Structures are given as C-alpha cells and as structure tokens.
Amino acid sequence: MGDEFYSIIKLTSGEEIFSLVSVDENDGDPIILLQSPVIIKHIHVNGNSLVKIKPWVELSTDDIFVIRYDKIITMTETSDEKIIQIYNNYLNSDEENYNFMEEGKVKVSDTQGYVSSVEEARKTLENIFKLEDTKES
C-alpha cells in the first residue's frame, strides 16, 4: 500500500469528495482507498464564509471505501492546512451535531449580544415606558 495523503477527488458521477487517500496497486490496476470521505461545500451567507461537511456515504458505518481508478476524473493532493483541520475536527467531533463551522468565528460576549434574559429585558423596557408615562403627565 502507498503513502497516505489528503486529496480532493472529482468523480465521473460529478461528486467532489475530500478524503485521506492511499493508492494500492492490484495486479497493475490501481485501487484508491478512501478513509472517511466527506463532501465539503463552501458557502457564503451574509458576508460570512461557512463550510458545510457531510459524509460521502451517509448511512454506512464503514470508514474505508474502495473506488476504481476509472471512476475518477481528477484527483489532486492538497496540503491546505485549513481544510485539513476542518476535516479532522469533523472526524473527531460528534458527527450528528457538526453542521457548520464558520471561519474566524468569535464567541458572543455580553458586549456583542445576549446581554440579558428575555424576562430581564421585558422588565427593563416596562420601566422605561413607565418613566416616560410619568414625565408626560
């Protein structure tokens, strides 16, 4: 079996997948071994850059897949650390709860939002309107 490398693969079916890949020579006919292949979509929403990841074969419990070389249009090795990190984070996370990862995401602080609960905000607004009503009288 050959060396492992991260690769982006375009299949004859039109699918683009990302995976850790190994090439195995089988009697002169190369076979591609894919470890945990995923489909990665880059999405732009409201000025944010998001990455959506989902398994290539969603209902399988296996993580190794074999495809023949003639089913591949093109395959390119990638060393893009950001994509590799997103892929590895996805594999190490709870897949059911991993939908989107926002690039450069910052946690919300008290100064950015979520300053109070709904109940506290309601009381504050009621007090403001009560003060305005007393000033008008």
The DSSP result for 69-119, as a single string, is GGGEEEEEE---HHHHHHHHHHHHS-GGG--EEETT-----TTTS--S-HH
Place of tokens 């296996």: 62
Write the pLDDT tens digit of every residue in 42-79: 888 888 878 788 899 888 888 899 998 888 999 999 88
Write the pLDDT tens digit of every residue in 72-111: 999 999 888 888 888 888 888 765 444 444 445 555 555 5
What lies within 8 Å, CB to CB, of 85 at 6+ separation is none
Domains assigned to the chain: 4-105 (2.30.30.100)
Amino acid 118 reads: V
What is the band of 137 on the pLDDT scale with cuts at 50, 70, 90?
low
What is the rounded distance in angstroms from the CA atom of residue 24 to the CA atom of residue 66? Answer: 10
Pair type for strands 100-102 and 29-45: unpaired
Please state whether the predicted TM-score (pTM) of the whole model is above 0.85.
no
Six token digits for residue 121: 């905000």
Write the pLDDT tens digit of every residue in 10-28: 999 988 999 999 988 777 7
What is the rounded distance in angstroms from the CA atom of residue 84 to the CA atom of residue 62? Answer: 21
